[in-house]
Chain A
Amino acid sequence: MAVLEELREAVLTGDKDRAVEVTRLGLETSIDPQALIDDAMIPAMDEVGRRFEEEEYFVPELLLSARAMKAALELIRPLLADTGASSRGCIVIGTVKGDLHDIGKNLVSAMFEGAGFEVVDLGSDVSPEAFVAAAREKSADLVGLSALLTVTMPSMKSTIEALEAAGLRDRVKVLVGGAPLSTDYAVEIKADAYAPNATAAVRAAQELVGGRAPCR
């Protein structure tokens, strides 16, 4: 019990070294690796999300917690490989063509990894063709599109159209996010969901594609 509580606390406070140490200790004392995830890390990240939405936490705290969770997960993953629970799905993410802003995208990417997804980050100023190629090659479950500039929002639409033209749209969900966006816009460009912030993005991804296979 103490290990689970300590791991929860380490993730919640973004203490990466402690999270790794406690996880190692837990594994040595034969605690079920799945319990470390289900009973410590996930409740911790849920609480991080709650604090973020309540404005007790801001971006730095979110990033540190995601980093602690990711480091601890890396120790556990190999032990779960057989059960198929090592990944919650494959996400290809990037900032759309014409937009160089990647802080928001990087934050969402870190939160996805923290939540157990496998993430392929294509960077910023990513063309529709590059999204299509990566989604196909990695057999992605979800494509995450980010834009900060109002002028680059149309690039989201053209990326979704390119996924459709490539015949991928029926097996790839699309999640969009970024300061100038709204649910209305997501509906208009035929995205599956819009997330107003990083924790909402994780929730949306879990609802859309939770429990799928890792990237190819």
Chain B
Amino acid sequence: MPLIEELMAGGPVLLDGAWGTELQARGLTLGEIPDYWNLGHPDRVEQVARAYVEAGSDIILTNTFRANAIALAGHADLSKLDQVNLAGVEISKRAAGARARVFASIGPSGKLLVNRQVDEASLRACFEQQAGALAKGGADAIVVETMTDLEEARFAIEAARATGLPVVACVAFDSGKKKDRTMMGATAEQVAEALTEAGADVVGANCGNGIEGYIPICARLASATDRPIWIKANAGLPTLQEGEVVYGTTPGEFVSHLGDLVDAGASFIGGCCGTSPAFIEALRARLDA
């Protein structure tokens, strides 16, 4: 049975939560590139991956979100990029063992095509390089995530598909008065159609919105595609409390929306900014109840 169907056979599939804040809690400082900890502090990265496996994730991601040649140009030693991606997959696989699958993360380039900050050929080349290294490391699938531009997403999906692995593609809905558009103005329906047409096996959304905000978006995505839906929501929207930025949603509140999200059509569910292993543990307990 193909991997995606196999995973879905048992009901909603549980993903992981945020990595950045977990790495900071283990000493990642401002200005350090998180992905390069795969080489410098593989033990600490593995602790994060392991925390999610132990919390009950069926799928964990990899610490490779920014490890592409365009995003890191001028900020990191690009000659180590393949090693960073390979190590990212290896670390997550060690933590997962036989208990979870490893879906390797590809994030956006951080540059815009529309004003020619980057061209199509360099985008394709950068995603091909990263997807190739992630596949070589032994990932079970590739997740193209937090995309803002559907054209860039398409290049990443095509590069990921070329590895032969299953591909998940998701975008961030963070714009517009109702926060139901991408930064480039695309609607949920347009996103679902474009990602499906580009060949993603699973489509969805991550970051940008809290779990409540993603319930109607999830329903709209599901209405516009026959592919399974993937949702990784933030723990609410960030607010400022005594000079500290906090995501207000608690694990209990997050879990209280789980049923509605499943009813709206989500098959793969996890957390993004502001979530932690405690959120995944709470989701696991509710799914198993």
Per-residue interface assignment for chain B, residues 62 to 78, with 1 indicating a CB less than 8 Å from any chain A CB and 0 otherwise: 00001000011001000
Question: Taking the complex as formed, is B243 at the interface, i.e. its CB lies under 8 A from any CB of chain A?
Answer: yes
Q: Is the CB of B75 within 8 A of A184?
A: no
Question: Taking the complex as formed, is B111 at the interface, i.e. its CB lies under 8 A from any CB of chain A?
Answer: yes
Q: Is the CB of A106 within 8 A of B117?
A: yes
Segment with Cβ contacts to A, from B175-183, B198-206, B225-233: B175-183
How far, in whole Å, are A182 and B177 apart by their CA atoms in the complex?
A: 16
Question: Taking the complex as formed, is B114 at the interface, i.e. its CB lies under 8 A from any CB of chain A?
Answer: yes
Q: Is the CB of A58 within 8 A of B183?
A: yes
How far, in whole Å, are A101 and B71 apart by their CA atoms in the complex?
A: 9
Question: Taking the complex as formed, is A125 at the interface, i.e. its CB lies under 8 A from any CB of chain B?
Answer: yes
Most buried by A among B31, B177, B181, B273: B31
Write out the residue numbers on chain A whose beta carbons fall within 8 Å of the beta carbon of B121.
none
**Majority SS at the chain B contact face:** loop
How many interface residues does B have (CB within 8 Å)?
29
Supposing A58-B183, A179-B174 touch, asked if A125 and B110 sit within 8 A by C-beta, the answer is no
Question: Taking the complex as formed, is B8 at the interface, i.e. its CB lies under 8 A from any CB of chain A?
Answer: no
Chain A interface extent, by class: 20 to 34
Segment with Cβ contacts to B, from A38-46, A60-68, A137-145, A169-177: A60-68
Write out the residue numbers on chain B whose beta carbons fall within 8 Å of the beta carbon of A152.
30
Q: Is the CB of B114 within 8 A of A188?
A: no
Write out the residue numbers on chain B whose beta carbons fall within 8 Å of the beta carbon of A179.
174
Per-residue interface assignment for chain B, residues 238 to 269, with 1 indicating a CB less than 8 Å from any chain A CB and 0 otherwise: 11100101000000000000000000000000
Question: Taking the complex as formed, is B122 at the interface, i.e. its CB lies under 8 A from any CB of chain A?
Answer: no
Q: Is the CB of B184 within 8 A of A58?
A: yes
Q: Is the CB of A58 within 8 A of B240?
A: no
Q: Which of A11-66 contact B (CB under 8 A)?
A: 55, 57-61, 63-64
Write out the residue numbers on chain B whose beta carbons fall within 8 Å of the beta carbon of A185.
240, 243
Write out the residue numbers on chain B whose beta carbons fall within 8 Å of the beta carbon of A85.
none
Write out the residue numbers on chain A whose beta carbons fall within 8 Å of the beta carbon of B240.
182, 184-185, 188
Supposing A98-B31, A100-B75, A182-B240 touch, asked if A55 and B110 sit within 8 A by C-beta, the answer is no
How far, in whole Å, are A55 and B185 apart by their CA atoms in the complex?
A: 8
Question: Taking the complex as formed, is A9 at the interface, i.e. its CB lies under 8 A from any CB of chain B?
Answer: no
**Majority SS at the chain A contact face:** helix
CB distance from A39 to the nearest CB of B (A): 26
Question: Taking the complex as formed, is A1 at the interface, i.e. its CB lies under 8 A from any CB of chain B?
Answer: no
Q: Which of A83-140 contact B (CB under 8 A)?
A: 97-98, 100-103, 106, 110, 125
Write out the residue numbers on chain A whose beta carbons fall within 8 Å of the beta carbon of B273.
150
Which of A57, A151, A153 lies in contact with B24, CB distance below 8 A?
A151
Q: Is the CB of A125 within 8 A of B114?
A: no
Question: Taking the complex as formed, is B196 at the interface, i.e. its CB lies under 8 A from any CB of chain A?
Answer: no
Q: Is the CB of A188 within 8 A of B31?
A: no
Q: Is the CB of B31 within 8 A of A125?
A: yes
Q: Is the CB of B245 within 8 A of A150?
A: yes
CB distance from B248 to the nearest CB of A (A): 13
Write out the residue numbers on chain B whose beta carbons fall within 8 Å of the beta carbon of A125.
31, 75
How far, in whole Å, are A150 and B272 apart by their CA atoms in the complex?
A: 14
CB distance from B83 to the nearest CB of A (A): 20
Q: Is the CB of A59 within 8 A of B184?
A: yes
Supposing A125-B31, A151-B24, A185-B240 touch, asked if A180 and B175 sit within 8 A by C-beta, the answer is no
CB distance from B100 to the nearest CB of A (A): 27
List 27 contacting pairs A-B, 8 Å CB cutoff, sorted by A. A55-B176, A55-B177, A58-B175, A58-B184, A59-B112, A59-B175, A59-B183, A60-B114, A60-B184, A61-B185, A63-B115, A64-B115, A98-B31, A100-B72, A100-B75, A100-B110, A103-B110, A103-B112, A110-B115, A125-B31, A150-B238, A150-B245, A151-B20, A152-B30, A179-B174, A180-B245, A188-B240
- 5 closest cross-chain pairs (CB), A and B: A58-B185, A150-B245, A98-B30, A98-B31, A60-B114
